[in-house]
Amino acid sequence: MVTGIDVHIYTVTDFERALRFYTEFLGKQPESLMDGSWAEFELPDGSAFAIGKHENHPWQAGYTIAFAVPDLKAAVEFVRSHGGKAGDPGESPVCHMSFGEDTEGNQIVLHHRK
């Protein structure tokens, strides 16, 4: 029945702050933007990521998304310098990664495959 995931969505509390963070982090403008409540970004691999602020849906921390990054050190510095949190990079047998949070407290992983 399921053929894939169309969009990963994080709920945010401060839409404009989150929009600034993700526009710079993803390096692009959203393809869909709705009046301070929704922004959807299409990513180079064909997937999509969105942020939304919903008056009738209270904020709760999102599940973890592992964002593929070509330069882990640069991504860690970016997140830290733009109000998010990023731990020191670690290594597994298949990847390098940093665990942290976006500006809204949603969990993120900066992830680089070996």
Identify the CATH number of the domain in which residue 74 sits.
3.10.180.10
Secondary structure element (H or E) that encloses residue 71, with its range: none
Whole-model pTM: value is 0.81
Whole-number Å distance between alpha carbons of 32 and 112? 27
Structural domains counted in the chain: 1
pLDDT in tens, 11-47: 999 999 999 999 999 999 999 999 889 999 999 998 9
**Residue 101, in any domain of the structure:** yes
State whether residue 109 is helix, strand or coil: strand
Strands 85-86 and 95-101: antiparallel
pLDDT score at 14: 94
Backbone phi and psi for residue 89, each to the nearest 5 degrees, phi listed first? -60, 145
Is 85 strand, coil or helix? strand
Mean pLDDT, range 58-67, rounded to an integer: 78
Q: Which domain holds residue 70?
A: 8-113
